[in-house]
Structure formats: C-alpha cells, structure tokens
C-alpha cells in the first residue's frame, strides 16, 4: 500500500469534516423546523380550548359581578325599608302620644259624657247583660256614676282603675269582662292605623 502525500491527506480530512458539518447543520435545521412546526400545531390545537376557558372565565366573572350587585342592591333595599318602618313607627307613636295627651286633658262633660254612655251601651251588648259592675278612674267617676242611672242593673265599683279614660265592665257573676278603657281601645286600633298609614306610604306591614 502506497503512502499518501501529506497535502493530499489534509485535503481529504477537511473534505470529510466539511461533509460532517454540513450534514450536522442540515440535521439541526431540520430538527428545529420540525420542532417549530410541532409547536405551532400544538398552539393552534390549544387555541379553541384557551378561547373556551377565556369565555368561561369572562362568563363566571360576569355572573359573580351580577350576584354581588344584587346582594348590594338587596341590602340597600332592606336598609331603606327598615329606616322607613322605623320612621313610620316613630311618627305613629308621636301622633298617638299627642292624642292621649289631649284625651287626658279633655273636658269631662258634653261629648265625653256621650262617649261614656256609648261605651256602657256597647259593653252591655257585648256581654249580653245589663247586670254589670263598672270600673273607671278617679277623674271619670262622677260622670260614669251619673250616666249609669240610665242603665238599670248596672253599678259603679268603689274601686278605681288606672287608665286615661273610659270604663271596664264586668258581669256581676264575674264570668265576663270587657275592657272599654280608652287605653285598651287605642291599643286595639293602633295596629290597624299603623297598617293603613304604612299602606298609604307604600312601606307595607
């Protein structure tokens, strides 16, 4: 086997290295292109899913915002309603307070005498008997005593009761009692009046 000239040997070596480098470069570029294409495909494939998730996030966020808005509005409505009810209650109490003050200081003659007569008539009708014992306060004692002369069978109790005005009527056998004091009548009317006033102002019960 003959011996190669040194220059010939170097040239062959460089040619071989160039080929190897060229092939390596081609392989690397090919791999890069392949990876790039694969990445792009994966990205394109994932876009619909990302868009769906994005839409879901936006939709959930809107629902949550609507929910919070309704809660805020609901709380505000309740607060306003509570304030209206409180104002209404205070107004009704003030009106009743003034009415009670006027009744307490009212003259016990004329219309008041007619009122006592009406209360006795109503009470005896409700109890179904005129055999009754009538109770009243110290201030109304004389006028009640005078009125009872029109109701045979009725009797004024020597005991006085604590009330603004009016009477309490008991059957003489003690089986039945009807409270017709002004205090009790106002207490019975107060819820109805409060309801009517609330309805007129659209506040409700």
Q: Name residue, tokens 């790039």.
A: 36
CA 173, 174, 178, 179 dihedral sign is positive
Q: How far apart are CA 108 and CA 126, in angstroms?
A: 25
Instruction: Return the half-sphere exposure (C-beta side, CA atoms, 13 A cut-off) of residue 114.
Output: 2
pLDDT at residue number 122 = 93
Query: Chain-centre distance of CA 189, in angstroms?
Result: 26
Token readout for 47 is: 């876009």
Q: How far apart are CA 61 and CA 69, in angstroms?
A: 12
Q: Is the pTM of the predicted complex or chain greater than 0.75?
A: no
**171-188 confidence digits (pLDDT tens):** 999 999 999 998 898 888
The parts of the chain modelled with pLDDT lower than 50 are 1
Query: Chain-centre distance of CA 170, in angstroms?
Result: 44
- Read off the DSSP letter of residue 135: E
Token readout for 180 is: 């017709």
- Read off the DSSP letter of residue 151: S
Q: How far apart are CA 133 and CA 172, in angstroms?
A: 6
pLDDT at residue number 1 = 47
pLDDT at residue number 32 = 81
Instruction: Return the half-sphere exposure (C-beta side, CA atoms, 13 A cut-off) of residue 86.
Output: 6
């Amino acid at each position: 086997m003959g011996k190669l000239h040194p220059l010939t040997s170097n040239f062959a070596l460089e040619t071989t290295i160039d080929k190897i480098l060229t092939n390596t470069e081609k392989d690397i570029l090919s791999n890069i292109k392949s990876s790039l294409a694969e990445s792009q495909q994966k990205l394109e494939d994932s876009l619909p899913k990302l868009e769906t998730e994005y839409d879901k996030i936006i939709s959930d966020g809107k629902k949550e915002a609507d929910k919070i808005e309704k809660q805020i509005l609901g709380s505000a409505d309740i607060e306003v309603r509570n304030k209206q009810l409180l104002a209404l209650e205070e107004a009704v109490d003030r009106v009743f307070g003034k009415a009670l003050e006027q009744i307490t200081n009212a003259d016990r003659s004329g219309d008041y005498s007619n009122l006592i007569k009406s209360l006795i008539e109503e009470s005896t009708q409700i109890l179904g008997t005129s055999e009754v014992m009538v109770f009243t306060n110290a201030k109304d004692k004389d006028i009640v005593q005078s009125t009872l002369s029109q109701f045979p069978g009725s009797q004024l109790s020597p005991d006085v009761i604590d009330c603004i005005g009016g009477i309490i009527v008991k059957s003489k056998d003690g089986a039945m009692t009807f409270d017709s004091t002004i205090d009790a009548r106002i207490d019975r009317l107060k819820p109805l009046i409060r309801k009517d006033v609330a309805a007129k102002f659209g506040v409700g019960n």
